[in-house]
Every structure is written in C-alpha cells, then in structure tokens.
C-alpha cells in the first residue's frame, strides 16, 4: 500500500528578535519540507516603514542577513523551502538582499517577493477604527497601512518554484496554511480543512511557545534544558490531522499543557478565529499525547472567510519620556513614594493628568492585586509620560535624575530615556481593493 503523503513544516522563528540557532537545527536535522519564519509583530512593520523612508534599500527585518547567511547553504543542500514575512515594509529589497547573499556564497537561489499588503495610498484618514470608533486622522500623522494578506497571496509564489518566499504583512497562520493548500491541493472552498490548517498554523506561529518556551514556572511546570530550547515541526496529513514534534536532543517539552496554552494564546473568540483565509473554530479541536514530545492535533473546523481584511495602520503617537531610580533598605517604599510625589508636583504644569508613576517591586505590573506595600526590600520608582515634543518628554528623565541631590535619601541607579512612539489602529478594507502579486529574484 502506498504510504499517504505527509508534509513536515518547521517553525524556526516566532518573532523578529527570536534566536537563530533553532531554525538552523530544524533545517539541518529536522527533515522538514518547509521552514516558516514568523517575524512581524503589530508594530514591527511601521518601524520598518520608517527605516525604508530613510533608506529605500532597507525596511526589511534587521536579522534577515544573519538568518540567511546561516540557512541558505543548508536549505539548498536539503531542498527545503523557506516562507517568511521578514520582508516587513520592503519585501522586494529583502528578496534582492537574499540573492546577493546567495551569490556571495556561490549558491543559486530563486526568491519570490510577495507584495500588495501596503495600502497606504488607499487610506483617506476618514476610516473608522475598529476598537475606538474614531476616525483614523484623529490619532496622529499616518505612517503606514498594511493589510493582512492570506494564503491566497502566497500560493502563486510557491507554485513559481521559488526556494524562498518573502512577504510583508500576512496573517501569521497563513504562512503555514499556504504550503498545506499547495501540497494537498486544498482550496478556500474546503473550509473545514482550511480551518484545521489555521489551527495548526496558530499552534506553530510562535515557534518555541509550543515546545515549552514561555511556559516554565520552575515549580509545577518543569521544562528541561530551556537553554537549548528546540522549535517545533509538524507533520500534516491529507485529512488535516497533525502531529507536533521537535528535533531529538533539543531542550523543551511538548505536552498537552504546552499545546493548550498556545492554542488559546491571543484568541479573541475560539468559536470564530478570524484570518484572511477562514473563520476557524477552535472549540472542536482535540489533542492527544502520542509519545513524549509528540502531540496529535485533530478536529477543528472552519466556515467562510471574512468579507473584509484587517489593516494595521501605524501613526505618530508622540514621544514617551521615562525615568527610573532605585531605593533599597529601610523605608525603601516610603522614600520611593516621596520621590514619586515630588516628581508629580514638579511636572504638574507639563503633565497635569497623564503621568504614570510605578513602584517596581510592588505594583508596577499587577495593579490592585498585592495589597501589602510595606515589605519590599528594594523599590524602583518609574515615571513615564507621553508628550508632543521630545523636549517635554525629556523633562521626566531630567527630574528623576535631579532626585540625586534634590530628593529623598539614598536613591541610585538612575536611567532615563525618550522614545518616539508609533501607535497602531486597525481598520477593515474590502478584499477587492487589494491585488497581491509577486516578483522573482534569482542569484
């Protein structure tokens, strides 16, 4: 009997700054067909857009060169295809850069750059944002607008025979859904299978978060060898059933608990997880531990894809000023509180209401949970505020620093910063107004 076809996809990166080594191990020893590198957070593309404005040959992921130097020789030897959104604001420049790296290493590589997500030219500013109900232009100067493309934008690029497919903004799970649609001949009409593929894509998109990364507590949740955490691969069958695994002798753990945490991660509605490909239903997914570090994912389904696509719009939101100072030993909290109050009074004119004052070690993260503020031995005061100009933002750090000689006793370790802040708002756009396409670059 002919063995049924299975496709193995590895997830080598779950965010832009992710570790380089796990992808190398997956490519080298994972026997994978595809390597997915997911590197775009909500705000990443707006920051990349700013780099592109300064230099039109930039605007792709800052780690692109380093990742490709490592991976190109291996994927060429093993015949692995890479799918990645590392193109960020400039997939064309990213593809060109990859062919340059390949040429330098005497490798023949075909790269497809998928474009069409950049919809800045279509934005009027009058669009109503999803969460606030306010028009876009009430927030600030618009910097970028990128629609979340789906697997359908990636499919023709895979069919072109490219070794590497570089995109800008696509929905994270679509990077996994696309190769499954291609290999198994699924179409958007196969909603149930696209739903299952999206479940798999969602489990894989954060890479190490399903293999025991971001999971351990050292007491009840034990994860072995996190220092050599391996990233996941998944074997998918024609019927949409999947088996999660990782390379032997890597650290981490794949258990029902790690898979459940990742399945629910960043889910707004488990009955209707919306992507450009499908409305996926996570409430029918079933999980089964098959062997150590091997979990089977079955079930899950989907219904018709949404009529409209989400667009992430980046805008200039102002400048954040921050300052921190440390108090330790007797009366640490009393001294920190005194310092916080001094800063509030000194900046009353510039920051009449929106100055944030945190006591790190007591309540900076979990407001209202820990009622006891008397026991911390060390307290770090943090003051933060948003301003229209870098000069006003700078006042916060300046006043915190001045606590050295103008504040309570024994403050130390001042740090101050000013950061330009790019905010993100989301709008919806009609699918018809978007025309994804791809260009081929060869070394």
Partner 1 sequence: MKTKLYHIAHSRAGDKGNTLMLSLIPFKEEDFPSLVEQVTVQKVKDHLKAIVKGNIIRYEMPNISSLLFVCEEALGGGVTTSLALDPHGKTLNYALLELEVDL
Does 222 sit near partner 1 (CB under 8 A)? no
Tell me which residue has tokens 């604001």. Answer: 89
- The answer to whether 279 and 306 have CB atoms below 8 angstroms apart is yes
Residue selected from 160, 225, 283, 406 as contacting partner 1 according to rule CB under 8 A: 283
Number of residues that bind partner 1 (CB under 8 A): 51
- The answer to whether 391 and 350 have CB atoms below 8 angstroms apart is no
Per-residue mark of binding to partner 1, 142-181 (x: CB under 8 A): ----------------------------------------
Residue selected from 70, 120, 287, 394 as contacting partner 1 according to rule CB under 8 A: 287
Q: How many residues does the chain have?
A: 443
**Phi, psi (degrees; rounded to nearest 5) at 228:** -120, 40
Q: Which residues contact 193 (CB under 8 A, 6 or more apart)?
A: 184, 186, 240, 302
Does 260 sit near partner 1 (CB under 8 A)? yes
Residue selected from 19, 24, 221, 431 as contacting partner 1 according to rule CB under 8 A: 221
Which of the ranges 62-70, 93-101, 400-408, 415-423 carries the binding residues for partner 1, by CB under 8 A? Answer: 415-423
Nearer Cβ to partner 1 (42/341): 42
Nearer Cβ to partner 1 (27/136): 136
- The answer to whether 296 and 325 have CB atoms below 8 angstroms apart is no
CA 126 – CA 120 distance, rounded (Å) = 13
Does 386 sit near partner 1 (CB under 8 A)? yes
CA-closest candidate to residue 114, choices 73, 84, 71, 144: 84
Residue selected from 292, 368, 372, 432 as contacting partner 1 according to rule CB under 8 A: 368
Q: How far is the CB of 256 from partner 1 (least distance, A)?
A: 8
Residue selected from 28, 265, 331, 344 as contacting partner 1 according to rule CB under 8 A: 265
Does 388 sit near partner 1 (CB under 8 A)? no
Q: How far is the CB of 259 from partner 1 (least distance, A)?
A: 8
Nearer Cβ to partner 1 (133/185): 133
Nearer Cβ to partner 1 (265/331): 265
Nearer Cβ to partner 1 (28/241): 241
Residue selected from 42, 55, 341, 442 as contacting partner 1 according to rule CB under 8 A: 42
Does 440 sit near partner 1 (CB under 8 A)? no
Does 306 sit near partner 1 (CB under 8 A)? no
Q: How far is the CB of 358 from partner 1 (least distance, A)?
A: 6
Does 133 sit near partner 1 (CB under 8 A)? no
> Which chain residues interact with partner 1 by CB under 8 A?
42-43, 130-131, 214-215, 217, 220-221, 256-257, 260-271, 282-287, 299, 317, 320, 354, 356, 358, 360, 364-369, 382, 384-386, 421-424, 426
């Amino acid at each position: 009997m002919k063995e049924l076809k299975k496709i193995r996809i590895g997830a080598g990166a779950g965010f832009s700054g992710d570790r380089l080594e796990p992808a190398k191990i997956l490519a080298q020893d994972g026997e994978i067909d595809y390597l997915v590198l997911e590197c775009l957070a909500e705000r990443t593309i707006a920051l990349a857009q700013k780099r592109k404005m300064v230099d039109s040959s930039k605007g792709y992921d800052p780690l692109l060169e380093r990742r490709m130097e490592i991976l190109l020789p291996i994927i060429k030897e093993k015949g692995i295809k890479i799918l990645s959104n590392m193109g960020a604001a400039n997939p064309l420049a990213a593809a060109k850069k990859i062919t340059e790296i390949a040429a330098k290493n005497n490798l023949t590589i075909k790269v497809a750059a998928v474009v069409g997500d950049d919809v800045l030219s279509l934005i009027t500013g009058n669009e109503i944002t999803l969460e606030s109900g306010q028009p876009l232009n009430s927030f600030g100067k618009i910097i970028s607008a990128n629609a979340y493309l789906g697997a359908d934008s990636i499919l023709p690029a895979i069919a072109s025979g490219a070794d590497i497919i570089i995109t800008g903004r696509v929905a994270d799970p679509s990077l996994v859904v696309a190769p499954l649609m291609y290999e198994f001949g699924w179409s958007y009409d196969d909603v149930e299978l696209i739903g299952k593929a999206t479940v798999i894509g969602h489990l894989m998109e954060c890479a190490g978060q399903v293999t025991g990364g971001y999971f351990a507590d050292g007491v009840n949740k034990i994860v072995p060898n996190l220092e050599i955490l391996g990233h996941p691969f998944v074997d998918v069958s024609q019927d949409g059933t999947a088996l999660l695994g990782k390379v032997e002798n890597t650290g981490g753990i794949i258990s029902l608990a790690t898979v459940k945490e990742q399945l629910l991660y960043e889910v707004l509605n488990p009955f209707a997880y919306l992507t450009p490909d499908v409305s996926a239903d996570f409430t029918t997914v079933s999980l089964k531990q098959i062997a150590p570090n091997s979990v089977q994912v079955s079930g899950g389904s989907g219904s018709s894809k949404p009529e409209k696509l989400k667009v992430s719009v980046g805008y200039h939101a102002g400048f954040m000023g921050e300052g921190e100072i440390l108090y330790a030993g007797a009366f640490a909290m009393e001294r920190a509180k005194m310092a916080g109050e001094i800063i509030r009074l000194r900046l009353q004119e510039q920051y009449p209401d929106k100055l944030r004052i945190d006591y790190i070690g007591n309540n900076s993260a979990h407001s209202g949970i820990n009622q006891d503020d008397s026991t911390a031995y060390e307290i770090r005061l943090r003051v933060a505020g948003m301003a229209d100009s870098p000069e006003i933002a700078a006042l916060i750090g300046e006043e915190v620093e001045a606590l050295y000689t103008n504040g309570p006793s024994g403050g130390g370790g001042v740090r101050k910063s000013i950061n330009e802040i790019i905010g993100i708002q989301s709008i919806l756009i009609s699918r018809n107004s978007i025309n994804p396409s791809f260009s081929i670059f060869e070394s």
